[in-house]
Amino acid sequence: MTEHAVVIAGAGPTGLMLAGELALGGVDVAIVERRASQELAGSRAGGLQSRTIEVLDQRGIADRFLSEGQIAQVGAFASVKLDISDFPTRHPYGLGLWQNHIERILAGWVDELRVPIHRGREVTGFAQDHTGVDVQLSNGESLRAEYLVGCDGGRSVIRKTAGIEFPGWDPTMSSLIAEVEMTEQPELGVHRTAAGMYAFGKLEYEIRDGQIIYKDGGSIRVMVPEPHVGTTREPTLGDLSAALIAVCGTDYGLRSATSISRFTDMTRQAASYRDRRVLLAGDAAHVHSPVGGQGLNTGVQDAVNLGWKLAQVVGRTSPESLLDTYHAERHPITARVLRTTMAQVALLRTDERTRALGDIVTELLGMDEPRRTFAARMSGLDIHYDLGAGHPLLGRRMPDLDLVTANGPLRVFTLLHHARPVLLELGESGDFDIAPWADRVQSIDAEYHGTWELPALGVVPAPTAVLIRPDGYVAWVGERSHSGLVDALTRWFGAADAA
């Protein structure tokens, strides 16, 4: 039986990101993917939030995405645009880029990191014991792993086989989304009518001065509500035509479709992200409406939170209990994403009373404080893991500061390219002997002369030292002393004698 330290089920955005993170952590990891190639039916996610771009920048790969997509103020809450151009980040924008491109670029990175992907095979089940997991594949083979991570999407076999509950809310709406050929040209853009919200667009577009300019020709992207919620069979061209006629009065001479799929606002979250040696991430752990564009981004953030922790546990520098912090940190963050998304679904209903409520929300979000709060939330820049009381940086993302070191200028994110923790010493806080952790934690002396400003929070007191986790979140803040640092190093990166 082939053995790996970690097997990931699913090479979607979450599985690919996790594989990259584990490979950087020196883990023998393999992916099992049902699809024969990375090709994706339908365009699905339309882009990346600011924090996701930052996370990719932390690994030195953001430019690969930026060079292919459209940088723009794409953030919105219930269709109310949220401008983040004044936010203190190197990426004060979102990126328009279809999921098939995001996956292709991630797969290229994972390939460079030499992660094997067993394509055209499904994980059909698994059995775990106290030393590992036997992973059964659809071709009759098995893989043995110390850990199995289910990144296998909303209908996750891993979640179901593990018997992990998936509580939440049944759908209240259902829409078809398709890429089609039509003989007539519908009016492109989003339309809100009493019959519901529908939209026409193109796969090829440019964003100029905040406006989407669709390219001439090419397939049309359609989104149209279905009359009934709860249909489970695969949608057909006939269903799409009927839905268009019901809402628009015509199907615009619908001729053919390269993809037709359905999405709903079903909202569910795994009760636990871990069952002993089995973990869940991405859509396998949470599903919700695509409104607000949070799903792919949330999955990538799950992967970046889990990757280094699992790498340390597999590498025996940290105890297994470190894995419990994955659920403890990510479950509440995503629970809030789910609530925020449900609120948007409700606000996008097209009856007059909801529209009146929507007008009030639009007015409120036009004010600076609510705009900053919601823009930080929707862009992922306000993620705050509860690491206890203390300096405002604790548990928040480390800003990508321009540092000055004895060797010249240095960006903080450059220090994170290899997914290794960093102790950044910025002042005179006395000597600290990092030697017991020197094999795991980089220690950098630097100067920084600017202000410390966090999105939505504003300026915070300058620390004299910070301990940064590989996912870019601050694990400890020094204010003229090293008090608490040994505890933080031990808690996050293992005991002094663990290596």
Ligand X SMILES: Cc1cc2nc3c(=O)[nH]c(=O)nc-3n(C[C@H](O)[C@H](O)[C@H](O)COP(=O)(O)OP(=O)(O)OC[C@H]3O[C@@H](n4cnc5c(N)ncnc54)[C@H](O)[C@@H]3O)c2cc1C
Q: Which residues have C-beta within 8 Å of that of residue 376, sequence separation ≥ 6? A: 84, 87, 382, 455, 456
Site string for ligand X, 259-288 (x = CB under 6 A): ----x------------------xx-----
Residues 363-402, one symbol each (x = binds ligand X by CB under 6 A, - = not), give ----------------------------------------
| Sequence-distant (≥ 6) Cβ neighbours of residue 125 within 8 angstroms | 136, 157, 161
Q: Which stretch binds ligand X (CB under 6 A): 27-35, 84-92, 140-148, 430-438?
A: 27-35
Contact between 157 and ligand X by CB under 6 A: the answer reads yes
Q: Which is nearer to ligand X, 158 or 422 (CB)?
A: 158
Helices of type H across 382-457: 412-415
Contact between 68 and 98 (Cβ < 8 Å) = no
Task: Tell me how crowded residue 259 is: count the other CB atoms within 10 A of its CB.
Answer: 15
Taking CB under 6 A as the rule, does residue 153 contact ligand X? yes
CB of 281 to ligand X, least distance (A): 7
Give the nearer residue to ligand X in terms of CB position, either 46 or 395: 46
- By CB under 6 A, the count of residues binding ligand X is 33
SS3 (DSSP) at 193:
strand
Residue number, 71 or 457, with CB nearest to ligand X:
71
Window of 271-279, 295-303, 343-351, 389-397 that interacts with ligand X by CB under 6 A: 295-303
Asked if residue 73 lies in contact with residue 84, where contact means CB atoms within 8 angstroms, the answer is: yes
304 near ligand X, judged by CB under 6 A: no
Rounded Cα distance between 106 and 330, Å, is: 22
Of 62, 95, 173, 296, which lies in the binding site for ligand X, with binding defined by CB under 6 A?
296
CB of 222 to ligand X, least distance (A): 11
Give the Cα separation of 109 and 115 in Å (integer).
Answer: 9
Among 54, 146, 152, 251, binds ligand X (CB under 6 A): 152
Site for ligand X in 468-497 (CB under 6 A): none
CB of 490 to ligand X, least distance (A): 32
Max CA separation in the chain (angstroms)? 75
Q: Which 3 state secondary structure label does DSSP give 256? A: strand
The reply to whether 35 sits near ligand X by the rule CB under 6 A is yes
| Angstrom distance (rounded) from CA 346 to CA 276 | 37
Half-sphere exposure in the Cβ direction for 68 (13 Å, CA): 18
Q: Which of 7, 24, 44, 59 binds ligand X (CB under 6 A)?
A: 44
Find out whether 88 and 455 touch, Cβ atoms under 8 Å.
yes
Choice from 267, 297, 305, 334 touching ligand X (CB under 6 A) = 297
75 is a contact residue toward ligand X (CB under 6 A): no
Cα angle value 343/346/349 (rounded, 5°): 150
Q: Is the dihedral of CA 359, 366, 290, 207 positive or negative?
A: positive
Of 99, 161, 264, 379, the one binding ligand X by CB under 6 A: 99
With beta carbons less than 8 A apart as the criterion, state whether 94 and 47 touch: yes
Rounded to the nearest whole angstrom, what is the least distance from the CB of residue 34 to ligand X in the complex? 4
Question: Minimum Å distance from CB 108 to ligand X?
Answer: 16
Closest separation between CB of residue 126 and ligand X, Å?
Answer: 10
The number of angstroms, rounded, from the C-alpha of 41 to the middle of its chain's C-alpha atoms is 20
20 binds ligand X (CB under 6 A): no
* Touching ligand X, residues 165-204 (CB under 6 A): 177
* Sequential DSSP letters for 163-187: T----EE--S-EEEEEEEEESS-PP
What character string, x for contact with ligand X (CB under 6 A) and - otherwise, covers 116-135? Answer: ------xx------------
Q: Rounded to an integer, what distance in angstroms lies between the CA atom of residue 58 and that of residue 432?
A: 26
Closest approach of Cβ 461 to ligand X, in Å?
34
309 and 318 Cβ atoms separated by less than 8 Å: yes
Sign of the Cα torsion 483, 486, 491, 493 reads positive
C-beta of 38 vs 241, nearer to ligand X? 38
Overall size of the chain counted in residues: 499
Strands 274-275 and 196-202: unpaired
Instruction: Compute the least distance from the CB of residue 400 to ligand X, in Å.
Output: 22
| CA-closest candidate to residue 109, choices 4, 40, 39, 11 | 11
Q: Judged by CB under 6 A, which of 293, 358, 380, 455 binds ligand X? A: 293
State whether residue 210 is helix, strand or coil: coil
Is the CB of 24 or the CB of 149 nearer to ligand X? Answer: 149
Judged by phi (left if over 0) then psi (alpha if -120 to 50, else beta), residue 467 lies in: beta
Q: How far is the CB of 282 from ligand X (least distance, A)?
A: 2
Cβ nearer to ligand X, comparing 124 with 236: 124
Q: Which of 20, 25, 47, 472 binds ligand X (CB under 6 A)?
A: 47
In whole angstroms, what is the distance from residue 86 CA to residue 72 CA? 13
Answer yes or no whether residue 337 interacts with ligand X by CB under 6 A: no
9 contributes a contact to ligand X by CB under 6 A? yes
- Residue 38 or 318: the one with the smaller Cβ distance to ligand X is 38
Q: How far is the CB of 121 from ligand X (least distance, A)?
A: 7
Q: Is 46 in the site for ligand X (CB under 6 A)?
A: yes
Distance CA 270, CA 286 (A): 6
Q: Which residues contribute to the site for ligand X (CB under 6 A)? A: 9-15, 32-35, 44-47, 99, 122-123, 151-153, 157, 177, 263, 282-283, 290, 293-297, 299
